[in-house]
Structure 1
Amino acid sequence: MEQLTLSKSQLIRSRVKGVVGGSIGNLVEWYDWYAYSVFALYFGAAFFPKDSETAQLLNTAGIFAIGFLMRPIGGWIMGTYADRRGRKAALTLSVLLMSAGSLMIMLVPGYKNIGIAAPIILVLARMLQGLSIGGEYGTAATYLSEIAPKKHRGFYSSFQYVTSCLGQLIALSILLVLQRFLLTKEQLGDWGWRIPFGLGAILSVSAIYLRRSLAETDSFKNEKVATSRKGSFKELMKYKKEVLLIIGFTIGTTVAFYTFTTYIQKFLVNTAKFSKNDSTTITMIALFIFMIAHPIAGVISDRVGRKKIMIIYGVVSMLTTYPIMIGLGKTHDLWTAVLLITLALVILSLCTSISAIIKAELFPANVRSLGVSFPYALAVAIFGGTAEYVALGFKQAGHANYFFWYITACSVVSLIVSFNLPDMDRHSKMDEDLK
């Protein structure tokens, strides 16, 4: 009996370690992404001075390359690597690339020291991180799904977004601490902006340590197909329907996610006329509740069924997105704004909590990581990465509410796809892994 208890205890510790190690890269990924975004106000002039036209062009080209080009490329490269060399190897490489990118940003001298080489190195560092970001999601989603017990797959997969939210919260917290308690605006512009990237490198090293000690999944170890069929694009194209399902499924979720976690701060300032400090506070509170909602939504999905939850999400999102955005645009009360954004994010958590497992269950083990990574990264690059530009474009044209209908339309696409998803409780490719 004691031995049996010990074995159960060891199993629980192993699974906890697997969840932490498998999802911590998302924490680092979103921390790095947010740190770059929020601290760009302080270091932008050091790398992209207005009197240098070439530097300004590099700024635009770099953002484009990272946001739109590198994610699908990273999804393809890292997805293939994970299917051929193993989930553990790909997870370790992914976070190593993040660490290298953070170190480069922290250490690179400014434009006045090394000239045009400074923005070039900065762009290269962000491209390196873009490769990592593109492959991180699919590989981590695959790993978390494969180590999860069948009855708890929704719960396990939910931790991918828990750590994503936590990474954003850490980046925002560091910004607030440095702004309000430790450094002046001048100090932040001179050298203080390097601090968060140094911390990002430390986080990455910690993640590397955790991931190096992870156990490889049984699904990968028991895969018997030839190496040439593992992670190949030709093999993936045997599952065209599944690839299209992921793209359609991602369209609605990625637009809503980027709207309510990233663009919403600008919306609160530019449209609702909140101060920058209040918009940051509102976002942090809503993100914290969003983070907590994921494991709860994951547990519910394990009880109710993932397809049913996705249909519920699609219907509720379709009906509530427009009135929520209209309400946010009109309110000037902090707690009303918190309530509305939190409502939108809790609804979104019904989908994001199980998005990893839904994608992973569509593919066999030999192309699972590629199958999750590439179509997801492609959809995010096209729709998620452009959400803010679409919103600002409509606003500039004098039709800001058109963007609200755009988000709603994307939710409808996800709803249609949800009706066409197979019943994962009966037809999951993951159940075939160990047969």
Structure 2
Amino acid sequence: MASIVSTAPTASSASPEQVGGVEKVSRRRLKAIFSGLVGNLVEWYDWYVFSAFSLYFSASFFPSDDTTAQLLQTAGIFALGFLMRPIGGWMFGRIADKVGRKQSMTLSVLLMSLGSLLIALTPTYQTVGIVAPVMLLTARLLQGLSVGGEYGVSTTYLSEMATTGRRGFYSSLMYLTLIGGQLLALGILLALQHLLTAAELLEWGWRLPFVIGAALSVVALLLRANLTETDAFDAQRDNEEGRGSLRLLLQHPQAVAIVVGLTMGGTLAFYTFTTYMLKFLVNTAHLPREQATLASFASLVAFAVMQPVFGSLADRFGRRPMLLAFGVLGTLGTVPLLLALSHARSVGSSILLLLPALAIVSCYSGINAVVKAGLFPTQIRALGIGLPHALTVAVFGGTAEYIALWCKDIGHESYFYWYVAGCIFVSLLVVMRLFHVRQHSYL
């Protein structure tokens, strides 16, 4: 019985021309993949810039003399934004499966730009009182709705555009641009830290990245308006029965369970060692903000480079070994790595500890897109990936910062370390117990 994570692809939307068993990628496909990736990068920049700059704007929306309390309230809004992601996963996944991947991706980036613009224009608490955090929450909910649909639809689009024998590599580019969005956010933060004083950043400079995000979204919108539809979707365009429906999705309970199980540990590990790490290095390791930003930026550059490498390894050696490596190493290594990072006292030591942690996460992030895409047939793929993924991310990824800061606030920060390791262990059990019973992959 073959495994979903190790079998050769059984379906393809590419041309039959192959070299050495690997399909050649046409110029049309490269252009479509590039346009989709640029839009993906902009969407994730808009999403992550909130977390990157929260150290500077949290005081503008929440009155308190306690930095941890302000960050906790901001993390709460960050988490609430995730509650919209399942709705976005359902809404945009349904549009993608019924109307087309292109239309869904174009609409999602438009919604993200509106959220960024609203944050940039929101007045402070000192000016309008409670209206300020309410406006901030509204903008974040719009962004959550947008990014909730982005993952499932982009994953579907890239997986269907990828060529046989290189699906791992091309699908890994989705996380490359996701990390690229974080890098762009941190890069702008580094630039503003050098161009502006700390007082200027706290007062008004934090608004600039949100203005930039809104402008970049317009560029992404134009690129996505010219996307070509995937051959896989076009081939089943006339098949209306159940397409993009929850009824059809529920006919694939095992696939849904696999998406939830894998995402549980994967997303929590990802958000812990990427998005939350900047705050962790400042608030727990007590590095200066500038040094913590530099350490996060440098480690994310390495993390981005790892994605296509691990995607290519999956193409060569299979997907299941990569996921097993993530489960075993993540379960055993998370607690000691986070404990060591909590005592890091320099940029260099922080990077040296983050690199192995991110290499472990790459065993998941570099291949999870193609694994999840292969679980579902074309007519339910975007919804099948998007909805269960978004639900799981909302529960585990969206609350990662809040739970971490809460554990710190009650004086037991190490509880969070064990929580992350435990969730990764659940993902390991999913790989060990569920994947071997899959009959085949749809991609």
- TM superposition score normalised by structure 1: 0.88
- The alpha-carbon deviation at position 118 of structure 1 amounts to 4.7
- Whether 1:238 aligns to 2:251 is yes
State the match for 1:154 in structure 2. Answer: 168
Question: Taking structure 1 as reference, are residues 424 and 362 closer, same or farther at Cα in structure 2, changes over 3 Å only?
Answer: farther
Question: Taking structure 1 as reference, are residues 225 and 179 closer, same or farther at Cα in structure 2, changes over 3 Å only?
Answer: same
Pairing partner for 1:87 from 90, 101, 104: 101
- The alpha-carbon deviation at position 238 of structure 1 amounts to 0.6
- The alpha-carbon deviation at position 199 of structure 1 amounts to 1.0
Measure, in 2, the Cα distance between the counterparts of 1:47 and 1:247.
34
Q: 5 Å matches for 1:293-332?
A: 293-332=306-345
Q: 5 Å matches for 1:297-376?
A: 297-376=310-389
Question: Taking structure 1 as reference, are residues 274 and 296 closer, same or farther at Cα in structure 2, changes over 3 Å only?
Answer: same
> Is this contact kept in 1: 2:325–2:360, CA < 8 A?
no
- Whether 1:210 aligns to 2:233 is no
SS at match of 2:345: coil
One-letter code aligned to 2:304: M
Measure, in 2, the Cα distance between the counterparts of 1:320 and 1:111.
42
Q: Using the TM superposition, name which of 373-382 and 102-111 deviates more.
A: 102-111
State the match for 1:433 in structure 2. Answer: none
Question: Taking structure 1 as reference, are residues 114 and 270 closer, same or farther at Cα in structure 2, changes over 3 Å only?
Answer: closer
One-letter code aligned to 1:391: A
Measure, in 2, the Cα distance between the counterparts of 1:151 and 1:352.
18
Q: Comparing both structures, which one devotes a greater share of its residues to helix?
A: 1
- The alpha-carbon deviation at position 254 of structure 1 amounts to 0.9
- The alpha-carbon deviation at position 75 of structure 1 amounts to 0.7
Give the paired residue count.
Answer: 416
Q: 5 Å matches for 1:39-118?
A: 39-48=53-62, 63=77, 66-110=80-124, 117-118=131-132
One-letter code aligned to 2:413: A
Pairing partner for 1:170 from 181, 184, 190: 184
Q: Deviations over 1:372-412 (max 9, x none)?
A: 00100111111111122322333344433332222221111
State the match for 2:150 in structure 1. Answer: 136
Measure, in 1, the Cα distance between the counterparts of 2:128 and 2:350.
45
Measure, in 2, the Cα distance between the counterparts of 1:368 and 1:110.
42
Q: Using the TM superposition, name which of 224-233 and 317-326 deviates more.
A: 224-233
State the match for 2:13 in structure 1. Answer: none
Q: CA RMSD in A?
A: 2.7
Percent identity reads 50
- The alpha-carbon deviation at position 76 of structure 1 amounts to 0.8
State the match for 1:394 in structure 2. Answer: 407
- The alpha-carbon deviation at position 332 of structure 1 amounts to 2.4
Relative CO higher for 1 or 2, CA cutoff 8 Å, sep ≥ 6? Answer: 2
Question: Taking structure 1 as reference, are residues 273 and 358 closer, same or farther at Cα in structure 2, changes over 3 Å only?
Answer: same
- Whether 1:286 aligns to 2:299 is yes
Question: Taking structure 1 as reference, are residues 188 and 400 closer, same or farther at Cα in structure 2, changes over 3 Å only?
Answer: closer
State the match for 1:380 in structure 2. Answer: 393
Measure, in 2, the Cα distance between the counterparts of 1:197 and 1:36.
8
Measure, in 2, the Cα distance between the counterparts of 1:191 and 1:265.
21
- Whether 1:227 aligns to 2:269 is no
State the match for 2:4 in structure 1. Answer: none
- TM superposition score normalised by structure 2: 0.86
Question: Taking structure 1 as reference, are residues 272 and 179 closer, same or farther at Cα in structure 2, changes over 3 Å only?
Answer: closer
Pairing partner for 1:259 from 253, 256, 272: 272
Q: Deviations over 1:102-136 (max 9, x none)?
A: 22223345556666555443332221111101000
> Is this contact kept in 2: 1:19–1:159, CA < 8 A?
no
Q: Deviations over 1:199-253 (max 9, x none)?
A: 1112111111221111100111111564351111111111111111110110110
- The alpha-carbon deviation at position 146 of structure 1 amounts to 0.4
One-letter code aligned to 1:96: L
Q: Using the TM superposition, name which of 63-72 and 270-279 deviates more.
A: 63-72
